[in-house]
A and B are shown apart, each in its own frame.
Chain A
Amino acid sequence: AQSVSQHNHHVILSEAASLELGCNYSYGGTVNLFWYVQYPGQHLQLLLKYFSGDPLVKGIKGFEAEFIKSKFSFNLRKPSVQWSDTAEYFCAARGGSQGNLIFGKGTKLSVKP
């Protein structure tokens, strides 16, 4: 079955630390990948997406993600986090053009000022 795994449930960092959140998916063919962010009390917002081309994708607020096909991974990174990055981050994947979006269980990020 298609699935998305986020291995970190809760990550705690200090401001200015670097961030990498893991995401692995299990699709055999063409896959579209997304990272969404949910700030406390708010709805989900798209951070970035990958569907083809350059495997290094840049999103909003200084986030980027790298698609590594051989590892079935789409890890989210940010060189220097801020307190305002405290949120829950969801990786999502869609197999091909007609499949439904499958979400990971989310990773809570807490940034200490």
Chain B
Amino acid sequence: NAGVTQTPKFRVLKTGQSMTLLCAQDMNHEYMYWYRQDPGMGLRLIHYSVGEGTTAKGEVPDGYNVSRLKKQNFLLGLESAAPSQTSVYFCASSRRDTLVGNQPQHFGDGTRLSIL
């Protein structure tokens, strides 16, 4: 099993360009997440999805859009890239939370995105 796969691994964009980051998981997880990781900031949740066809805003959603057309894929889009979006982006997935809510998240290897 590949687990959580992110493509691409690296990308350099110019300000104003658009792009889509792809996250794919083969664990049949219901929940998927996009985070950005910045030095000294930890991980901040951008958007998440609790199932196919549903998405929700996280902590820092502005400037990003997402889609979950298939259960195994979660796409993160930047419509007009800005230098402030230079970051490392991590996708994660998890099983549906039980009443206990203890399901850990499985992370991809990250996408390093630089906006010039």
Contact = CB atoms under 8 A, between A and B. Distances in A.
Interface stretch (B10-18, B37-45, B66-74): B37-45
Interface residues of B, number: 26
Contacts of B100: 32, 51-52, 97
B42 A103 contact: yes
A55 interface: no
B40 A90 contact: no
A97 B97 contact: yes
From DSSP, what is the main secondary structure of chain A's interface residues? loop
Interface residues of A, number: 26
Interface of B: 4, 33, 35, 40-45, 48, 58-59, 90, 92, 97-102, 104-105, 107-110
Interface of A: 6, 9, 30, 32, 34, 36, 42-46, 49, 51-52, 90, 94, 96-101, 103-106
15 contacts: A30-B101, A32-B102, A43-B107, A43-B108, A44-B43, A44-B92, A44-B105, A44-B107, A51-B100, A51-B101, A90-B43, A97-B98, A97-B101, A103-B44, A105-B40
Q: Please name the 6 residue pairs, one residue from A and one from B, whose CB atoms are nearest each other, closest first.
A: A97-B101, A51-B102, A105-B42, A43-B107, A103-B43, A103-B42
